[in-house]
């Protein structure tokens, strides 16, 4: 075992007083409100604290306190990263997660003060060392927390995109694509791929793109719609755009966008009726059908 | 004429454009505008906010609710400190785009508004102001 230079008592304090440190630390976490008893059981809090102290003890054996990126610190890093991710998912605030580390300062400082009784120089130097060490570990939890939140958000966005672009078959040879929300560039790409795939899979000749659920049709949305229509045409399918409400029709005329060579309908129902007609079919009352 | 309510909104991300559309929609409903007028000013706001972000590199929107004797209206001022527009006449021409757009945003939002002002200086930035009365 290497002993850190300069009469440091950090390693010794962590080795000998593990239990006292743990109890005081947990009390500190509870008092700060960051322990969140509503989200984490007391026994888990105890286990996590004990595990952290065990790994920290091993890490400081290396004699390296300031560079937490070396392999000797990997156990501590992995534990804090995992803990931050779990707590992000549980609904902890980032400051509460960082407090897990920062609240350890109080008990550790107190223990070092006792250990250095009568030797202020050694005490100050140790305080400086552990402050830097714990600050770095605290920042690591914040980074891990933010990273896992970003991952959660990105996954939700992907799921939303998938969810919101189903292609439905209305009849043989007729598919419909109801679009809900904003048609930005990323979504247009997915919408287009889904539609083209559905046209191929169902052998459809007519595709109805329904924009009842699109609140604003500006030049970008129009451009994306026209692009989708053009792609469907290349696959041999004709497109009908439905859900153009009167106020939208008036607005795009003023905007100057021309949907001239695309058939448009006010409602999905009227688009469907037209699609059936184009395929030589109609919907009729039973009583009207002569046998 | 008096301004009885105003708010500034940032335009820095795609999500901000969605927020701008939603805010303009809410304000136009509060001003008692008809559905067609709501749709027109929201669409114009969408165009100008996108230009602010895409060409102006981001900026902000000043939203103002106006009243003048018996009429009420909304005034939207989009400001950025981007590259500016070297030839305004060209930029306002239907179908002219320096990017891959339709080139209808500026001229279209002018047609969708009752009043339209644009000021731009190369290297300094661009301000577009539109007003729509109820
Ligand atoms: N805020 C701005 N800063 C700098 N240049 C701008 C700004 N707004 C518009 N422009 C220029 O004016 C041109 C025309 O704008 P306009 O909104 O009419 O068309 P567009 O954005 O290219 O396409 P879209 O039809 O999708 O709006 C743009 O291509 C751009 O070169
Ligand atoms: Mg534009």
Q: What separation in Å is there between the alpha carbon of B39 and the centre of ligand 2?
A: 17
Instruction: Give nearest CA residue, ligand 1 atom 27.
Output: B105
Give B4-62 pLDDT, tens digit per residue. 899 999 999 888 999 999 999 999 999 999 999 999 999 999 999 999 999 999 999 99
Give A75-128 pLDDT, tens digit per residue. 999 999 999 999 998 999 999 999 999 999 999 999 999 999 988 999 999 999
CB-closest option in B36, B39, B104 to A257? B104
Other CB atoms within 10 Å distance of the CB of residue B77: 18
pLDDT of residue A234: 92
Total tally of structural domains belonging to chain B:
1
Q: Is the pLDDT of residue A162 over 80?
A: no
What percent of chain B is modeled with pLDDT above 90? 90
Interface test with A, best of B18, B41, B104, B112 (most A CBs within 10 A): B104
| Residue B96, domain CATH | 3.30.565.10
Q: Following CA atoms B61, B66, B71, B72 in sequence, which dihedral angle do they give, to the nearest 10 degrees?
A: 50
Among the bound ligands, name the one nearest to the CA of residue B52. 1
A248 vs B contacts (CB less than 8 Å) = 39
For ligand 1, what atom is nearest to the CA of residue B80? Answer: 1
pLDDT of residue A283: 87
CB-closest option in B38, B39, B107 to A256? B107
Q: Cα-flanking dihedrals φ and ψ of residue B45, to 5°? A: -60, -40
pLDDT of residue B40: 97
CB-closest option in A216, A250, A257 to B46? A216
Q: Is the pLDDT of residue A133 over 60?
A: yes
pLDDT of residue A46: 93
The answer, for B97 touching chain A at a CB cutoff of 8 Å, is no
Average pLDDT, chain A: 90
Nearest-Cα distance to chain B for A229, in Å, is: 16
Mean pLDDT, residues B59-69 taken together = 95
Cβ(A172)–Cβ(A270) under 8 Å? Answer: no
pLDDT band (50, 70, 90) for residue A163? low
**Domains in chain A, ordered, with CATH?**
10-159 (1.10.490), 168-282 (3.30.750.24)
CA distance A179 to A163: 11
Range of the domain at B49: 2-133
pLDDT of residue A261: 83
The answer, for B91 touching chain A at a CB cutoff of 8 Å, is no
Mean pLDDT, residues A150-178 taken together = 84
B47 lines ligand 1 (CB under 6 A): yes
pLDDT of residue B1: 85
Other CB atoms within 10 Å distance of the CB of residue A253: 12
């Amino acid at each position: 075992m290497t002993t850190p230079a300069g009469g440091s008592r950090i390693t010794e304090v962590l080795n000998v007083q593990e239990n006292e440190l743990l109890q005081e630390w947990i009390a500190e976490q509870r008092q700060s409100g960051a322990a969140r008893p509503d989200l984490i059981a007391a026994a888990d809090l105890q286990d996590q604290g004990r595990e952290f102290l065990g790994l920290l003890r091993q890490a400081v054996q290396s004699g390296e306190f300031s560079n937490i990126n070396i392999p000797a610190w990997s156990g501590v890093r992995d534990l804090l990263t995992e803990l931050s991710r779990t707590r992000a998912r549980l609904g902890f605030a980032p400051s509460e997660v960082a407090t897990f580390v920062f609240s350890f300062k109080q008990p550790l400082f107190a223990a070092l003060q006792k250990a250095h009784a009568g030797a202020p120089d050694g005490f100050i130097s140790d305080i400086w060392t552990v402050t830097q060490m714990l600050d770095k570990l605290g920042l690591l939890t914040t980074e891990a927390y933010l990273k896992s939140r970003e991952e959660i958000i990105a996954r939700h966005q992907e799921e939303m995109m998938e969810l919101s672009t189903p292609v439905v078959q209305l009849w043989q040879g007729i598919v419909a694509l109801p679009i809900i929300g904003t048609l930005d560039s990323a979504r247009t790409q997915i919408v287009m791929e889904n539609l083209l795939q559905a046209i191929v899979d169902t052998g459809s000749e007519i595709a109805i793109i329904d924009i009842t659920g699109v609140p604003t049709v500006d030049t970008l949305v129009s451009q994306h719609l026209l692009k989708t229509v053009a792609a469907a045409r290349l696959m041999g399918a004709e497109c009908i755009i439905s859900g153009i409400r009167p106020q939208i029709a008036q607005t795009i005329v003023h905007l100057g966008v021309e949907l001239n060579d695309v058939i448009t309908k006010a409602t999905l129902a009227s688009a469907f009726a037209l699609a059936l007609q184009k395929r030589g079919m109609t919907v009729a009352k039973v009583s009207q059908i002569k046998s | 004429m008096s301004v009885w309510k105003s708010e500034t909104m940032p335009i820095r991300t795609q999500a901000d454009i969605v927020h701008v559309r939603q805010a303009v929609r809410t304000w136009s409903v509060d001003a008692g505008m008809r559905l067609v007028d709501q749709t027109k000013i929201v669409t114009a706001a969408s165009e100008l906010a996108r230009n602010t972000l895409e060409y102006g590199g981001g900026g902000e929107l000043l939203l103002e609710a106006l009243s003048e004797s018996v009429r009420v209206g909304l005034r939207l001022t989009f400001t950025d400190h981007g590259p500016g527009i070297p030839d305004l006449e060209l930029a306002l021409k239907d179908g002219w785009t320096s990017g891959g757009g339709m080139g209808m945003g500026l001229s279209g939002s002018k047609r969708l508004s009752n009043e339209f002002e644009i000021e731009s200086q190369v290297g300094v930035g661009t301000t577009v102001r539109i007003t729509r009365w109820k």
